[in-house]
Amino acid sequence: MQTKPFRIGTRGSPLALAQAHETRDRLMAAHGLAESMFEIVVLSTQGDRITDRPLAELGGKGLFTEEIEAQLRSGDLDLAVHSSKDMPTRLPEGLFLSAFLPREDVRDAFIGKTAPKLTELPHGATVGSSSLRRQALIRRLRPDLNVITFRGQVDTRLRKLAEGQADGTLLAYAGLRRLGKFDVPTELLDPKDFPPAPAQGAICIESRTDDDRMNSLLAAINDRPTYDAVTCERAFLAALDGSCRTPIAGFAVCHGDRLSFSGMILTPDGSRFHEIGLEGACGDAAEIGRAAGEAIRAKAGPDFFASWS
């Protein structure tokens, strides 16, 4: 019988803490456990500490997970809670993504200071974003705009916008909703025109492969449609060697036992892009994502990827 509290590792931002609390609350409800049976352990990651440079210059997504995963592997943590889109496609040996919570809204939210819609910004206006995918999609829709790097936590980016450092910025609507900031967006972007990042809007839980007790508890809160959809999207990303250095979009959804996937790759300047769509059984999610990634890579040809390096 468990006598010590389960230790949940997380980053310290308000959004990361909201995600950790949701995970704890779902585990409490699923197993009738008291709040005292959980301890939320806040860890600082390199990605949190360095905010003045693009992630691509620093080494990519692992910057938000390495310190947490080290303590998970050592046994100092029992589980870790992450934003799924921050996770590298290759995890440290002995760790895996054991559960996904029900997915939030996948759309990107535009927050406009000088115009409410991205398409209505004046010629040459400045838009801030830290995501290469968003930067490329902005340039695809509005090549006249000045796109700058905007990093930091949600409130930091909103403060920069209020100070006039940009005319608009984009954030994941899922994160704004989890923070209760429902009225912040001035426009919600249609995924058909502005497709989300793979795994956007999904909270994932990472644990040790050999921790049967913990993995059994987590199985009770795993949302299978989200698990299958994100598995497909991450397989697409892996087939393209995707990281923070590459503009890749991908979105899968399960309807019953059928899964539909759409993906896009872009050059960083947004001038060229390729799209793909595949369908199949939800149980074949990883294979569908991998096949989509290989097919779009072949479609684009080797020259397309020269601009990614």
In degrees and rounded to multiples of 5, residue 35 shows phi and psi of: -60, -30
The number of beta carbons lying within 10 Å of the beta carbon of residue 220 is 12
Crossing angle (nearest 10°) for helices 14-31 and 212-219:
90
Do residues 264 and 250 lie in contact, with contact meaning Cβ atoms separated by under 8 Å? yes
- The angle subtended at Cα 299 by Cα 297 and Cα 300, nearest 5°, is 65
Active site residue 108: no
Residues 6+ apart with CB under 8 A from 104: 173, 174, 177, 178, 201, 202
231 touches 87 (CB < 8 A): no
State how far the Cα of 36 lies from the Cα of 56, in Å rounded to an integer: 40
Q: How many residues would you count in the chain?
A: 309
CB 28 within 8 A of CB 35: yes
Q: Which residue among the candidates 78, 86, 211, 228 is catalytic per the annotation? A: 86
Per-residue tokens: 212:
């049967």
Which residues are tagged catalytic?
86
